[in-house]
C-alpha cells in the first residue's frame, strides 16, 4: 500500500512518512527535539512541517537533518556533519529547537500513549549512527539522551549517551563525567567504552545494564537482599574513592539491580555530578547540586570545598534509609524545608517507620547520616564491612550515641538550664563529691554570657552615640563596631563550645544595631535554637524578625497587582510577622526603652498604625532623646498612606510623615535609618502627587536634598539613590517622551540606579528598583528614539535571574522577569527578531506565578500576553498565529473560570482577535468576525478604565481592518474610516503611543485615498496626508512599519501615475524600513511592486530586482502571498 504523500516543507517534493520518521529520530539524536515533543506530532500528516509552524524546529535545522539523511546512502557511507555546507550554526537565542508546545498533553518520554504509539516507536529508533546499529531511545536527563544500540565490531549491546548541544560548560561536564567514570574499574560500576565527538556530536558509549532501578526493586526485595545490594554498592563506591572520585549523587534511581539466578547484581550509574578530588572549575561555588532528599548537609550549604568521601557515605545512608523504610530521609517535606531539615534536624530513628527493623541497621544507617562528617563512617568500605557483619550475624562496629554525646547535644540546646543546673550541682558537689568539671562548665557559661552581653551593649552604645552626633560619615564607627564583632567572634571560637550561644546572642544584637537584619536573625535564631530562651533573646530576635518582615513587605508592595500583594503579605505574616510578634511579646520584660515604645512596635507589626503613632508619641514624651520612637511614628504614617487606595487621601498622611521624619532627624542627626525613611516618604509622595494629577517638582527637589543627607551619613549605601532614581522615572514616565527634560530624567535615573546597584549588588530592594528602570528606559526612552534597547533588556533579564536565584522566596522577581520578557518580546516582534527564547523564559515565569498563586489574575494575564506577543510575531513572519491566539484566549478564560476580573477586562481578547483578524484578512480575505470581537473587547476595557487611552488606538486598528476588507471587496469603506478617525481624534494631543497613533492616522488616509482612486477621483491629497502622518510616526517612534507604510503610499502612487520620483520615494522609504528591520516583509513587498511596475513601463533592468524582492518578501512572511498575487506578482 503506498505511503501518503504531499508537498514537503522544504520544497523537496511529496512527503514520505518513512523519511519524516527518520528525520524525527535524527532530531532526537542531535538534541533538537525531545521524546515528548515527538510524541505530540507523530500522528500529524507532516510532523516536520508542524514542528516548524510551532516554532519547535528551524528551517536551518531541517536542512541539516535532510543532508545527514541523504548522506547515509552516499558512496562513502558516512553521515554528513550536522553543520556541513551551512555558514554557521543558528544562534541559540533564535533557534527554537527542542521547544515543547505548552498546550499539548504529552506522554512520558519513551512511553508512547494514545494512538501515536507506533509512530513514536518508529521515531525513537534509528537504523545506524557512526558504526553503531539499531539505536533505540531509552531515557533523557538534564545533560543528554540515552539510546540502546548494537556495536557490531565487538558484538555487544551498548548504551549511547548524547549531549544536548546547548552549553559549552555542559559539554565540559559531559566529557568530565565520562573521564571520571572511565577511571574506575569495578564490576559494580557501569563501564565506559568510548568517549568522543563525531561530526559535531558529543557522545559516550557505555555498558548496557539490564534490570531495574533500586527504586523500583525495593518493594520486592527481602531485608537481607537489600543489605546485600547496599553492601555491594558501598564496596564499589570505595573503589571509586580509591581512584580519587566522589559520586555526589548516590540515590536508588542511580543503582540498577538485576537478578542472576538466586544472586542479585547491583550496578552504579550516572557519574554526571561526580567530582574528581583534583578537579577544578566545573562546579559553581555555592550552588547546591544533587537530589535534595539524598544530599549531605555540606552539599545543601553549597560548601563544595568540604565535599569528600564522607559525602558519599551520607548518600549511602540516605539510599539505605529508602531501602529499609521505603522513604528517603525527610520524605514528608519538599523544597527549602528539606534543605533546612537536612542541615538542622537529626534523622528520626528508622524504627518509628518500621518498628520491627533490627536496631543495628537503624544505628548503622543513622551513623551514615550524621550532620557532622567527622561522626560518619570514615569510608564507604567501613559501611560495607558493617553491613557484612550484620548479614553474617556478627556485632557491628557502629554504636548508638553515648550518653555524654547526647547530653552535650542537649546542653547546646538548653544552655541556660544547664547553667542554672550547674549552680545547683555546685552545691551538690560540696555535699556529695560530684565531678568538679560539671560545676566548672556551668560557671564558664555564666561568665561567657555576662562577658559577651556586656560587649554587645558596648557595640550598641557606640553606634547609638554616633547617631546622636551632628550629621557626619558614620563609616568609621561602623568599622569600629564590626572590628569589635570580629574580635568577639574570634574570642568565642577560642573559648570553645560553652561560649557559642552567648556569642551568637551578642553578635546578633551587634548585627541588629548595624542594620544587618538577616545576619542578626541568623545569629539570634542560632542562640534561640541552642536553648537560650531568655526574654533578652526573645526581644532581640523579635526585632530582627520585625525588621526582616518590613524589608520583605517593601518588596511585596512593589508587586504588580493587589491580589498578588495580598497573597504575598499573607505568606509574610505567617512566616515573619506572627513569629516576630510572639517573640516581641515574650521579650517585653527585657525592653530597656520606655514601655510605650515596645507597645508601639507591637501595634505597628500588627497593622494597628494609629495606635502605634499614639504609643510612639508617648515614648518620645517619656524619653525625648529616643529618636527611634519618633522614626517609628513616621513609619506608621507611611504605612497608613500606603494602605489607602485614594492618592488624594494619602497625600496629607505623607505630608505628616515627612514632618515627623524631619523631627526624628533632629533627634538622631546621624541615624542612617531615619535619613533613608525620609527619602522613602518623599519618593512615595512623588508617586502619589503624579498619580493624582499634581506636579511633583518641589517634592523631587526635597527628595534630592534628603538623598544628599543620606549619602553623607552612608556614602557606601545604595538604597537612598535608588529611591530617587525610582521617583525620577515615575516623573519622566508622565512627561512628553521626546522633550529634553524627559531624556535627562531617564538618564539620571539610569545612572543613579546603576550606582546604587554597584554599592549593593545583592540588596533585593535595590534590584527591585534597578530592573524596572532598565525596562522602562529601554521601552520609553531608547525605543522611541530609534536606539537599540537590547542591552538594557538583557541586563534587566540577567539581574532578575540573579535576584530570583538569590531570593527564590520572593515572587517579585518572578513577576519582574515575566514582565521584562513581555516588553522584550514586543520589541523583538517589531524589530523582526525571533522571540522564541524570550517567550520560553517569560512563559516559565508566568507559570511559576500562576502555580504559586492560583487566584492571582496577573499570572493568567502574563500567560495571555505572552501568547499574544508570540501570535503577533507569527502573523508577521509567515506562521499561523491561531494556536497562539487560542492559548491566549484559553488563559483569559481560565481567569474568568476562577472568578478573577482583570483591571482592563477584554483587553487581551481584543488583542488576540485583532491579530487573528489581520491574519485571516491577509490569507483568506475575511477577518470581520474577529475584528468585531476585537472592538468589543477593547470597549469592555475602556468602560472599566476610561483613562485607558491606548484602547482608542487599538479599536481604530481593528476598525481599519474592517475598512480594508470592505475596500478589497469593492464595497464602501467610508463608514469604518470615519469611525476609526473618530477614535484617533479622541486621543489627546499627547497620546500614550504617539508613533502608533500617527501610524494609524497614516493608514486611515492611505485607505481613504485608495477608495477615492477606486471611485476615479484624485487620491493625492489623502496620500500626502498619509505620508506626513507616517513620517511623523517614524520620527517619533523610529518604527520600521511606518517607513513601510510610506513606501506603500509611494508605490501605489507610482502604479497610478508612473512618475519616476514616486518610484524613487517608494524605494527610499522601503530601504529605510529594511535598514531598521531587515525582516520587514512589507518593505520588500513594495520594492517588488515598484520594480515590477517599472519593468512593465519599459525598465527591463528592474525585472531581476522585482523577482528577488518578491522572493524575499514571501520567504519572510508567506502570509503575504494573497496580497502579492493581488498586486500582480507573476
Residues annotated catalytic, as ranges: 249
C-alpha cell belonging to residue 737:
517622551
Q: Are 497 and 407 in contact (CB under 8 A)?
A: no
C-alpha cell belonging to residue 1089:
511592486
Q: What burial class does residue 577 get, using C-beta atoms within 10 Å of its C-beta: 0-12 exposed, 13-18 middle, 19+ buried?
A: buried
**Short-list 755, 659, 746, CA closest to 711:** 755
C-alpha cell belonging to residue 1057:
501615475
Coil/strand/helix, residue 287: coil
β-strand pairing of 275-276 with 255-260? unpaired
Cα distance between residue 106 and residue 868, in whole Å: 23
Residues in CB range of 1023: below 8 A, 6 or more apart: 1005, 1006, 1009, 1049, 1052, 1053
The CA-atom distances, in angstroms, between 505 and each of 23, 343, 526, 595, 602 are: 66, 20, 8, 22, 22
Instruction: State phi, psi for 275 to the nearest 5 degrees.
Output: -130, 120
Tell me the Ramachandran region of residue 880: left when phi exceeds 0, alpha when psi lies from -120 to 50, beta otherwise: beta
Coil/strand/helix, residue 883: helix
Say which DSSP state 109 is in.
Answer: T
Cα distance between residue 100 and residue 404, in whole Å: 58
Cα distance between residue 128 and residue 149, in whole Å: 9
Q: Are 114 and 108 in contact (CB under 8 A)?
A: no
Q: Are 557 and 565 in contact (CB under 8 A)?
A: yes
Beta bridge partners of 163: 144
Cα distance between residue 939 and residue 451, in whole Å: 72
How much of the chain is helix, strand and coil, in % rounded to 5?
Answer: 65, 5, 25
Coil/strand/helix, residue 875: helix
The CA-atom distances, in angstroms, between 445 and each of 530, 742, 1026, 1075 are: 13, 63, 87, 77
How far is residue 615 CA from its own chain's centroid?
A: 43
Stated as kind and residue range, the H or E segment containing 17 is helix 17-29
Cα distance between residue 575 and residue 545, in whole Å: 9
List the 255-260 sheet strands across, edge first.
212-213, 255-260, 263-268
- Cβ of 702: how many Cβ atoms within 10 Å? 17
Coil/strand/helix, residue 231: helix
> What value, to the nearest 5°, has the Cα angle with vertex 744 and ends 739 and 748?
155
Say which DSSP state 530 is in.
Answer: T
Cα distance between residue 1104 and residue 1107, in whole Å: 5
Q: Are 29 and 162 in contact (CB under 8 A)?
A: yes
Cα distance between residue 452 and residue 502, in whole Å: 6
Cα distance between residue 415 and residue 536, in whole Å: 14
Cα distance between residue 1023 and residue 1003, in whole Å: 10
Cα distance between residue 722 and residue 763, in whole Å: 11
> What value, to the nearest 5°, has the Cα angle with vertex 1104 and ends 1099 and 1105?
85
Q: Are 638 and 677 in contact (CB under 8 A)?
A: yes
Amino acid at each position: 500500500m503506498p505511503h501518503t504523500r504531499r508537498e514537503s516543507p522544504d520544497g523537496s517534493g511529496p512527503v514520505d512518512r518513512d523519511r519524516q520518521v527518520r528525520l524525527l529520530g535524527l532530531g532526537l539524536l542531535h538534541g533538537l527535539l525531545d521524546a515528548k515533543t515527538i510524541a505530540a506530532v507523530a500522528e500529524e500528516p507532516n510532523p516536520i512541517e508542524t514542528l516548524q509552524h510551532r516554532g519547535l524546529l528551524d528551517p536551518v535545522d531541517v536542512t541539516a537533518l535532510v543532508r545527514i539523511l541523504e548522506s547515509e546512502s552516499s558512496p562513502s557511507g558516512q553521515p554528513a556533519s550536522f553543520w556541513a555546507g551551512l555558514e554557521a550554526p543558528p544562534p541559540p537565542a533564535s533557534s527554537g529547537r527542542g521547544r515543547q508546545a505548552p498546550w499539548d498533553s504529552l506522554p512520558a518520554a519513551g512511553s508512547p500513549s494514545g494512538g501515536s504509539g507506533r509512530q513514536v516507536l518508529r521515531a525513537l529508533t534509528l537504523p545506524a549512527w557512526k558504526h553503531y546499529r539499531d539505536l533505540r531511545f531509552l531515557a533523557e536527563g538534564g545533560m543528554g539522551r540515552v539510546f540502546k544500540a548494537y556495536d557490531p565490531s565487538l558484538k555487544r549491546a551498548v548504551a549511547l549517551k548524547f549531549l544536548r548541544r546547548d552549553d559549552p560548560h555542559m559539554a565540559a561536564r559531559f566529557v568530565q563525567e565520562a573521564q571520571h567514570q572511565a577511571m574506575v574499574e569495578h564490576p559494580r560500576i557501569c563501564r565506559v567504552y568510548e568517549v568522543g565527538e563525531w561530526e559535531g556530536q558529543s557522545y559516550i558509549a557505555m555498558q548496557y545494564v539490564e534490570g531495574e532501578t533500586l527504586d523500583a526493586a525495593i518493594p520486592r526485595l527481602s531485608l537481607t537482599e537489600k543489605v546485600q545490594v547496599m553492601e555491594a554498592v558501598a564496596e564499589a563506591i570505595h573503589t571509586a574513592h580509591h581512584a580519587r572520585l566522589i559520586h555526589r549523587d548516590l540515590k536508588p534511581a542511580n543503582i540498577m539491580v538485576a537478578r542472576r539466578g538466586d544472586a542479585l547484581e547491583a550496578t552504579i550509574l550516572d557519574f554526571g555530578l561526580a567530582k574528581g578530588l583534583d578537579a577544578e572549575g566545573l562546579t559553581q561555588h555555592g550552588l547546591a547540586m544533587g537530589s535534595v532528599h539524598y544530599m549531605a548537609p555540606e552539599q545543601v550549604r553549597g560548601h563544595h570545598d568540604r565535599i569528600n568521601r564522607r559525602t558519599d557515605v551520607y548518600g549511602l545512608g540516605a539510599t539505605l534509609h529508602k531501602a529499609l523504610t521505603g522513604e528517603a530521609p525527610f520524605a514528608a517535606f519538599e523544597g527549602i524545608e528539606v534543605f533546612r531539615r537536612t542541615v538542622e534536624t537529626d534523622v528520626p530513628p528508622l524504627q518509628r517507620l518500621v518498628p520491627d527493623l533490627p536496631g543495628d541497621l537503624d544505628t548503622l544507617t543513622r551513623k551514615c547520616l550524621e550532620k557532622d562528617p567527622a561522626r560518619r563512617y570514615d569510608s564507604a568500605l567501613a559501611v560495607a564491612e558493617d553491613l557484612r557483619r550484620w548479614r553474617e550475624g556478627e556485632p557491628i562496629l557502629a554504636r548508638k550515641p553515648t550518653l555524654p554525646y547526647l547530653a552535650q547535644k542537649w546542653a547546646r540546646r538548653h544552655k541556660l538550664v544547664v547553667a542554672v543546673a550547674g549552680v545547683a550541682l555546685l552545691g551538690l558537689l560540696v555535699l556529695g563529691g560530684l565531678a568538679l568539671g560539671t560545676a566548672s562548665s556551668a560557671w564558664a557559661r555564666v561568665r561567657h554570657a555576662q562577658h559577651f552581653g556586656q560587649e554587645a551593649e558596648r557595640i550598641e552604645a557606640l553606634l547609638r552615640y554616633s547617631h546622636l552626633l551632628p550629621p557626619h560619615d558614620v563609616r568609621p564607627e561602623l568599622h569600629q563596631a564590626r572590628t569589635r564583632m570580629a574580635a568577639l567572634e574570634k574570642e568565642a571560637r577560642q573559648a570553645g563550645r560553652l561560649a557559642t550561644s552567648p556569642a551568637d546572642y551578642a553578635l546578633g544584637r551587634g548585627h541588629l544595631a548595624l542594620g544587618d537584619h538577616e545576619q542578626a536573625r541568623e545569629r539570634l535564631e542560632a542562640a534561640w535554637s541552642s536553648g537560650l530562651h531568655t526574654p533578652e533573646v526573645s526581644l532581640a530576635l523579635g526585632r530582627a524578625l520585625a525588621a526582616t518582615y518590613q524589608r520583605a513587605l517593601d518588596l511585596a508592595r512593589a508587586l504588580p497587582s493587589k491580589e498578588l500583594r495580598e497573597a504575598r503579605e499573607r505568606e509574610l505574616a505567617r512566616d515573619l510577622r506572627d513569629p516576630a510578634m510572639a517573640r516581641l511579646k515574650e521579650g517585653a520584660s527585657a525592653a530597656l526603652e520606655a514601655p510605650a515604645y515596645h507597645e508601639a512596635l507591637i501595634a505597628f507589626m500588627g497593622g494597628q498604625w494609629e495606635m502605634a503613632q499614639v504609643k510612639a508619641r508617648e515614648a518620645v514624651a517619656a524619653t525625648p532623646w529616643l529618636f527611634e520612637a519618633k522614626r517609628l511614628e513616621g513609619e506608621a504614617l507611611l504605612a497608613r498612606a500606603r494602605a489607602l487606595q485614594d492618592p488624594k487621601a494619602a497625600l496629607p498622611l505623607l505630608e505628616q510623615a515627612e514632618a515627623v521624619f524631619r523631627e526624628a532627624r533632629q533627634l538622631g542627626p546621624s541615624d542612617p535609618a531615619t535619613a533613608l525613611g525620609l527619602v522613602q516618604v518623599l519618593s512615595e509622595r512623588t508617586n502619589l502627587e503624579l498619580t493624582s494629577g499634581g506636579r511633583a517638582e518641589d517634592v523631587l527637589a526635597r527628595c534630592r536634598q534628603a538623598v544628599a543627607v543620606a549619602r553623607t551619613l552612608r556614602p557606601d549605601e545604595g538604597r537612598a539613590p535608588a529611591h530617587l532614581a525610582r521617583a525620577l522615572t515615575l516623573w519622566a514616565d508622565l512627561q512628553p517622551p521626546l522633550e529634553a527634560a524627559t531624556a535627562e530624567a531617564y538618564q539620571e535615573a539610569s545612572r543613579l540606579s546603576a550606582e546604587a546597584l554597584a554599592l549593593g549588588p545583592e540588596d533585593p530592594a535595590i534590584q527591585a528598583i534597578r530592573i524596572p528602570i532598565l525596562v522602562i528606559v529601554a521601552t520609553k526612552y531608547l525605543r522611541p528614539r530609534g536606539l537599540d534597547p537590547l542591552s538594557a533588556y538583557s541586563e534587566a533579564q540577567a539581574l532578575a535571574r540573579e535576584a530570583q536565584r538569590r531570593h527564590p522566596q520572593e515572587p517579585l522577581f518572578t513577576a519582574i522577569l515575566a514582565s521584562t520578557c513581555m516588553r522584550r518580546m514586543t520589541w523583538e516582534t517589531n524589530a523582526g527578531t525571533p522571540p522564541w527564547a524570550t517567550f520560553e523564559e517569560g512563559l516559565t515565569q508566568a507559570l511559576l506565578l500562576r502555580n504559586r498563586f492560583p487566584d492571582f489574575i496577573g499570572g493568567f494575564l502574563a500567560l495571555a500576553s505572552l501568547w499574544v506577543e508570540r501570535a503577533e510575531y507569527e502573523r508577521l513572519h509567515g506562521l499561523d498565529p491561531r494556536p497562539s491566539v487560542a492559548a491566549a484566549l484559553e488563559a483569559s478564560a481560565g481567569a474568568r473560570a476562577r472568578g478573577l476580573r482583570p483591571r482592563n477586562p477584554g483587553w487581551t481578547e481584543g488583542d488576540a482577535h485583532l491579530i487573528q483578524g489581520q491574519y485571516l484578512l491577509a490569507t483568506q480575505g475575511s477577518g470581520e468576525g474577529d475584528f468585531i470581537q476585537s472592538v468589543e473587547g477593547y470597549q469592555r476595557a475602556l468602560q472599566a478604565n476610561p483613562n485607558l487611552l491606548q484602547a482608542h488606538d487599538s479599536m481604530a486598528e481593528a476598525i481599519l481592518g474592517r475598512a480594508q476588507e470592505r475596500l478589497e471587496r469593492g464595497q464602501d469603506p467610508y463608514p469604518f474610516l470615519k469611525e476609526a478617525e473618530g477614535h484617533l481624534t479622541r486621543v489627546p494631543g499627547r497620546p500614550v503611543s504617539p508613533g502608533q497613533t500617527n501610524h494609524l492616522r497614516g493608514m486611515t488616509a492611505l485607505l481613504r485615498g485608495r477608495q477615492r482612486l477606486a471611485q476615479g477621483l484624485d487620491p493625492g491629497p489623502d496620500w500626502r496626508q498619509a505620508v506626513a502622518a507616517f513620517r511623523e510616526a517614524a520620527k517619533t517612534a523610529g518604527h520600521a512599519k511606518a517607513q513601510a507604510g510610506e513606501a506603500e503610499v509611494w508605490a501605489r502612487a507610482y502604479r497610478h501615475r508612473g512618475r519616476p520620483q514616486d518610484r524613487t520615494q517608494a524605494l527610499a522609504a522601503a530601504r529605510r524600513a529594511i535598514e531598521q528591520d531587515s525582516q520587514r516583509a512589507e518593505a520588500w513587498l513594495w520594492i517588488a511592486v515598484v520594480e515590477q511596475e517599472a519593468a512593465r513601463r519599459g525598465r527591463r533592468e528592474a525585472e531581476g530586482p522585482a523577482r528577488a524582492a518578491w522572493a524575499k518578501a514571501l520567504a519572510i512572511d508567506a502570509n503575504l502571498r494573497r496580497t502579492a498575487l493581488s498586486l500582480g506578482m507573476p
